[in-house]
């Protein structure tokens, strides 16, 4: 059995959204998979949680985040190829625009206008910053656009990840951070979430880095040049989701499911997840390339991979960013582009090779465009294969809400469900 598992990042909206992307998008290729399919809804983590992509994706790949989540920081570090040491703390970071005097956040993504070249130059100005009078050090790596990874290291003492975020848009709740729809737009200094010296020290180092980085970045030539061109300055670094090296690695994907898996993903965090669970990773460069060109290459690589692997996991970022930016038209365009430039060539390629994989199609979370943030809403799920009886007229929330799969709680249940369904029904 071959499975093509495709995740449309943030594509779902909320029942209360005035317009819903999947309901309105012109997606004939995705919908054509409904001719032999079953569908339902899924809470990728659990009801009441507006998940971030990282632990939602870990769940979709069959790993219950309550058991296996190491924190977003380490997953971003794994994806960025940073060698963490025991005692380090890693965090997801954003370049942002702030008022240096008041720490008010003007834009927590620098208006999505930062090029990766600029980000790399700015990163090198704060990478290696000595903290705690030389006893500690900050390692910083720019990844994609406004995104980066911060690793805090102390020469003599272990650091704890029990520290709060300086990014106010995500609130730490136990091991997980949840997206907030509303928040005070000011950098929040980090607090230790335990009385251990390792947490107190880590929070102090994070705050020292955060405040000194503003001084360094605000006067950096890259920002002076950006300002002279009327662009926002990337003069601050917001951090969230601290984590430490997990005590042990999770069971490998092939060991867990008996399937040889490979991933084709676009963000560093998803590449980190692939490495964390032992999925092989096919890298398709996205930066500086037209979306259409990237989708067509991803489709070609997926078809090729189906000849070698049992499960090909494809994670397409497209709809999430316009969702965060409050653009219904942007989300609609993103889903239609994916249908036209990824699914159309994918289905052609599969048919020309005489392959008959099953499809699992879903989202990692809803990013309702009218909220501009992830929501706790369940997302639609469709499982399709020529041997399945049943049909789904449209991959959308309203259709899947009444689908035969019902509502699944926990994305980690999808692969076992698909395997059992396909084993029973596939002739």
Ligand X SMILES: O=C(O)[C@H](O)COP(=O)(O)O
Other beta carbons within 10 Å of 28: 11
**Does 147 help bind ligand X (rule: CB under 6 A)?**
yes
Q: Among residues 192 and 318, whose Cβ is nearest to ligand X?
A: 318
User: Closest separation between CB of residue 295 and ligand X, Å?
Assistant: 18
**Residue 131 backbone zone (phi > 0: left; psi -120 to 50: alpha; other: beta):** beta
Q: Among residues 153 and 324, whose Cβ is nearest to ligand X?
A: 324
Q: Among residues 109 and 271, whose Cβ is nearest to ligand X?
A: 109
User: Closest separation between CB of residue 322 and ligand X, Å?
Assistant: 11
CA dihedral 393, 45, 241, 89 (to 10 degrees): -120
Q: Among residues 145 and 250, whose Cβ is nearest to ligand X?
A: 145
Site for ligand X in 76-95 (CB under 6 A): 94
What six digits make up the tokens of 157? 């003492």
User: Closest separation between CB of residue 28 and ligand X, Å?
Assistant: 28
Burial of 369 (0-12, 13-18, 19+ CB in 10 A): buried
Residue nearest to ligand X (CB): 53
- Judge whether 260 and 66 are in contact, CB under 8 Å: no
Site for ligand X in 193-252 (CB under 6 A): none
Site for ligand X in 156-185 (CB under 6 A): 169
Alpha helices in 171-315 (DSSP H): 197-218, 221-228, 253-257, 268-277, 291-306
Q: Among residues 79 and 136, whose Cβ is nearest to ligand X?
A: 79
Count residues contacting ligand X (CB under 6 A)?
A: 7
- What x/- string results for residues 291 through 310 when contact with ligand X is judged by CB under 6 A? --------------------
User: Closest separation between CB of residue 179 and ligand X, Å?
Assistant: 7
Distance CA 281, CA 279 (A): 6
Chain Cα centroid distance, residue 299? 20
Distance CA 366, CA 147 (A): 21
Site for ligand X in 48-67 (CB under 6 A): 53
DSSP-derived 3-state class of residue 414: helix
User: Closest separation between CB of residue 145 and ligand X, Å?
Assistant: 8
User: Closest separation between CB of residue 297 and ligand X, Å?
Assistant: 21
- Judge whether 373 and 50 are in contact, CB under 8 Å: yes
Angle 191-217-71 (CA atoms, 0-180°, nearest 5)? 40
What six digits make up the tokens of 336? 């239609």
- What x/- string results for residues 4 through 43 when contact with ligand X is judged by CB under 6 A? ----------------------------------------
CA dihedral 400, 22, 50, 405 (to 10 degrees): 10
Q: Among residues 306 and 338, whose Cβ is nearest to ligand X?
A: 338
User: Closest separation between CB of residue 265 and ligand X, Å?
Assistant: 12
User: Closest separation between CB of residue 318 and ligand X, Å?
Assistant: 11
**Residue 220 backbone zone (phi > 0: left; psi -120 to 50: alpha; other: beta):** beta
Q: Among residues 2 and 109, whose Cβ is nearest to ligand X?
A: 109
User: Closest separation between CB of residue 95 and ligand X, Å?
Assistant: 10
Q: What is the largest CA-CA distance in the chain?
A: 68
User: Closest separation between CB of residue 53 and ligand X, Å?
Assistant: 5
What six digits make up the tokens of 277? 């669970």
What six digits make up the tokens of 271? 């590449």
- Judge whether 317 and 267 are in contact, CB under 8 Å: yes
Instruction: Return phi, psi of residue 175, to 5°.
Output: -80, -15
Q: Give me the sign of the Cα torsion angle 387, 391, 394, 397.
A: negative
- What x/- string results for residues 324 through 363 when contact with ligand X is judged by CB under 6 A? x---------------------------------------
Q: Among residues 2 and 72, whose Cβ is nearest to ligand X?
A: 72
Strand 89-99 to 236-243 pairing: antiparallel
Nearest partner of 325 among 146, 103, 141, judged by Cα: 146
User: Closest separation between CB of residue 382 and ligand X, Å?
Assistant: 23
The footprint of ligand X (CB under 6 A) covers 53, 94, 109, 147, 169, 320, 324
């Amino acid at each position: 059995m071959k499975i093509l598992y495709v995740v449309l990042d943030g594509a779902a909206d909320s029942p209360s959204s005035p317009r819903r992307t999947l309901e309105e998008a012109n997606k004939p290729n995705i919908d054509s998979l409904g001719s032999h399919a079953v569908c339902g809804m899924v809470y990728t983590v659990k009801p009441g949680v507006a998940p971030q992509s990282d632990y939602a994706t870990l769940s979709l790949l069959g790993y219950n985040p309550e058991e296996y989540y190491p924190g977003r920081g380490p997953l971003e570090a794994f994806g960025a190829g940073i060698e963490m040491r025991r005692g380090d703390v890693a965090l997801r970071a954003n370049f942002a625009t702030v008022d240096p005097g008041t720490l008010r956040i003007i834009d927590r993504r620098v208006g999505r206008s930062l090029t990766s070249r600029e980000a790399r130059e700015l990163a090198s100005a704060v990478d290696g910053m000595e903290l705690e009078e030389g006893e500690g050090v900050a390692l910083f790596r720019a990844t994609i656009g406004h995104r980066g990874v911060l690793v805090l290291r102390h020469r003599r003492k272990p650091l704890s990840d029990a520290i709060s975020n300086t990014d106010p848009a995500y609130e730490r709740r136990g091991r997980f951070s949840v997206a907030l729809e509303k928040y005070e737009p000011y950098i929040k200094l980090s607090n230790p979430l335990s009385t251990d010296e390792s947490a107190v020290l880590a929070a102090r180092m994070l705050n020292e880095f955060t405040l000194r980085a503003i001084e360094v970045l605000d006067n950096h030539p890259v920002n002076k040049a950006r300002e002279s061109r009327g662009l926002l300055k990337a003069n601050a670094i917001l951090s969230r989701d601290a984590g430490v090296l997990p005590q042990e690695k999770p069971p490998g994907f092939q060991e867990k499911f008996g399937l040889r898996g490979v991933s084709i993903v676009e963000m560093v965090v998803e590449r980190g997840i692939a490495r964390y669970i032992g999925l092989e990773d096919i890298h398709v460069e996205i930066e500086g390339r037209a979306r259409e060109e990237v989708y067509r290459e991803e489709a070609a690589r997926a078809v090729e991979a189906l000849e070698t692997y049992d499960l090909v996991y494809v994670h397409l970022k497209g709809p999430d960013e316009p969702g965060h930016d409050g653009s219904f038209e942007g989300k609609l365009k993103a889903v239609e582009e994916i249908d036209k430039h990824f699914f159309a060539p994918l289905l052609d390629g599969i048919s020309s090779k005489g392959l008959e994989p099953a499809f699992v199609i879903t989202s990692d979370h809803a990013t309702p465009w009218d909220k501009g943030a992830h929501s706790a809403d369940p997302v639609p799920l469709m499982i399709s294969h020529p041997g399945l009886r049943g049909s789904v007229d449209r991959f959308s929330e309203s259709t899947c809400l009444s689908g035969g799969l019902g509502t699944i709680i926990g994305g980690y249940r999808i692969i076992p469900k698909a395997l059992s369904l396909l084993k029973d029904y596939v002739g």
